[in-house]
Structure 1
């Protein structure tokens, strides 16, 4: 009896050509089972590998599961791709936000170009604004009566005689340490909650001129806000009761006069006259230990152009509570005229829906307190963003 002739074994692996199909390797158990089993299994493996297009041939159940599994992986891959695109888009938007309104604190001093801020000032306020003095001077009210078109806070009309007495006991000069600088690097430190845990204190202290606002404290917050104060803008109700604790001995205290009573208050303090107690929305200090030679009276011109050029506010307003710029926006306006490089920190208010978020880094006070202040915080936010966009100022904190 002649032995049965075994069919040749199926080659392993099975190469499927250049159609982009997968390579199928013959299982080890199939090779060991003998030629007959190989002869029966090989065509099935070949059909599966090639994805048989014969519609009449029956589909094996495990092949169906394989197809379903592959479809599921395709869906998951598409979903992963979609999520990756969304994350990329979100990051790119955030990068643009950071590029426009925030820049990291440099390890070294940023290069300062003389006249850099002056170019920006001409775009915002016009060239004529660079010719105005920063502080009011006695000579402009003693020998002649300097005419003013507007009353306080945009001019001195009607307050000239009172102002004359104040200017006789204060000063107007800019310290030589600032005047002698070839290029002035300045930072305006706002009072915003965003300064908390910012660790910006060391960076802030490195600027040539550090401008602070109102009664914002330094003691106890040095790590976040620094300890150096070149100028502090204030009005009577916002004056700190003990300025020697929060300011340096050479700090200039710059009075921003909103009303005639503000001149009455500073005169009574510096001349030790009977204190003025009425006419303020909040009682200002009655005892204020300061050196009169460190006091400056801000030129109301800067209040006028901040209102007109940045906020588009009418100078003549019929309402009892008139809209006016904040001390912060006023300080930025002043810095743009005084300095060559202007950075800001701690500006911006919480979103409207964050009603319980504090607006200051040093005390709990909410946005509700601004309701009757006469300040349009939304309009000011747009003005600051515009200055950031054109590069007039840069931000040390997010905005």
Structure 2
């Protein structure tokens, strides 16, 4: 065989060799700590391998990658399509507050740099103690979308939780007075309205009106330095779906039953499943309720005692997360119980 013939066959085989290398890299080298490498980000081939219609059908999720995450002014003509449920699962009775807020927010979209991606990798960073000393920071920073929750700090904890923030889910009682302190300049601040007063609060902030202090389980910031152009309002559809499809809890409690709502954490995971092709999680899980003195966050000193009177069913959420994990919809970046 001539040298020219050998060169020709080598050139023909090169794409095949590169494909095989790429496949094995994405399929095997990305596996550690529940399937993910600490130093790598899922590639497109890995993305595509996780897309399974049967998984969605098994869990009866109404999920589409084209879902709009945020409320838009032009989507709501309430005289034609009135909401039948009040917050947190609908907008009945809160339409005027919502219109005033949407009138001064500059955009209702995700950044084009994210929305145009063929494959979106997403990590939801919980606030749990399980992420402490994990050294996952550099891995978390490499995802396309990093979702953080409430007022969880970043500065001083970068080695474990990273310092990239794409979306920050919050509500008034969990708002940090200065969002810039622990977020990137372009982080979208996603308000999750659980009650009408949550929309009233953001309206009063945006219009610099007199603050109403009543109606909150904890005083929210009276001065909040978030930029109006970075504010987004999460569509109650996602909280409703999280409650009904993921947790299967009643949307309207009967009689004297205590209302139970999803945490912002499991809500954020459902939103990620609705928008991203790959969803990984870190920092989720609470200690067993009988261990009341164990820290629950990677920061601060709160213990399980702080969750005593919450509107959340933590054990039920843990079971739901396990179901998502067992179904292959989410993967953890670290060992967990």
TM-score per shorter chain, which class?
0.7 to 0.9
Q: Which runs of 5+ in 1 are unaligned?
A: 1-98
Q: Distance in 1 between matches of 2:319 and 2:123?
A: 20
Secondary structure of 2:281's match?
A: strand
Paired residue for 2:43? 111
Question: Taking structure 2 as the reference length, what is the TM-score of the superposition?
Answer: 0.84
Paired residue for 1:352? 289
> Who wins on radius of gyration, i.e. which is larger?
1
Q: Deviations over 1:304-353 (max 9, x none)?
A: 11111111101111347410100000000000011000000000011233
Between the two proteins, the alignment pairs up a number of residues equal to: 301
Q: Distance in 1 between matches of 2:323 and 2:67?
A: 24
Q: Which residue, 98, 101, 108 being the options, matches 1:163?
A: 98
Secondary structure of 1:168's match?
A: helix
For the 8 Å contact 1:190–1:212, the answer to whether it is kept is yes
Q: Deviations over 1:228-267 (max 9, x none)?
A: 0000000000001211111111100000000000000001
Deviates more, 1:328-337 or 1:316-325: 316-325
Deviation at 1:127, TM superposition (A): 4.1
Question: Taking structure 1 as the reference length, what is the TM-score of the superposition?
Answer: 0.71
Secondary structure of 1:372's match?
A: coil
Deviation at 1:275, TM superposition (A): 1.2
Please tell me whether residue 123 in structure 1 is matched to residue 58 in structure 2: yes
Say if 1:238 and 1:115 are closer, same or farther in 2 by CA, change over 3 A.
Answer: farther
Paired residue for 2:147? 211
Counting only pairs closer than 5 Å after superposition, residues 186-201 of structure 1 correspond to structure 2 as 186-201=122-137
Counting only pairs closer than 5 Å after superposition, residues 71-86 of structure 1 correspond to structure 2 as none
Counting only pairs closer than 5 Å after superposition, residues 204-283 of structure 1 correspond to structure 2 as 204-283=140-219
Say if 1:210 and 1:383 are closer, same or farther in 2 by CA, change over 3 A.
Answer: same
Deviation at 1:114, TM superposition (A): 4.3
Say if 1:149 and 1:142 are closer, same or farther in 2 by CA, change over 3 A.
Answer: closer
Paired residue for 1:180? 116
Q: Distance in 1 between matches of 2:187 and 2:293?
A: 34
Q: Deviations over 1:96-120 (max 9, x none)?
A: xxx9983453433223334945734
Say if 1:273 and 1:142 are closer, same or farther in 2 by CA, change over 3 A.
Answer: farther
Q: Deviations over 1:14-48 (max 9, x none)?
A: xxxxxxxxxxxxxxxxxxxxxxxxxxxxxxxxxxx
Please tell me whether residue 290 in structure 1 is matched to residue 226 in structure 2: yes
Q: Which residue, 72, 82, 92 being the options, matches 1:147?
A: 82
Paired residue for 1:369? 306
Secondary structure of 1:385's match?
A: helix
Secondary structure of 2:104's match?
A: coil
Give the number of the structure with larger relative contact order, counting CA–CA contacts within 8 Å between residues 6 or more apart.
2
Q: Distance in 1 between matches of 2:98 and 2:212?
A: 16
For the 8 Å contact 1:125–1:305, the answer to whether it is kept is no
Q: Deviations over 1:262-314 (max 9, x none)?
A: 00000111111111211101111111112101000001011111111111101
Say if 1:375 and 1:129 are closer, same or farther in 2 by CA, change over 3 A.
Answer: farther
Q: Deviations over 1:143-184 (max 9, x none)?
A: 855322211001111111111111111231110110121100
Q: Deviations over 1:69-112 (max 9, x none)?
A: xxxxxxxxxxxxxxxxxxxxxxxxxxxxxx99834534332233
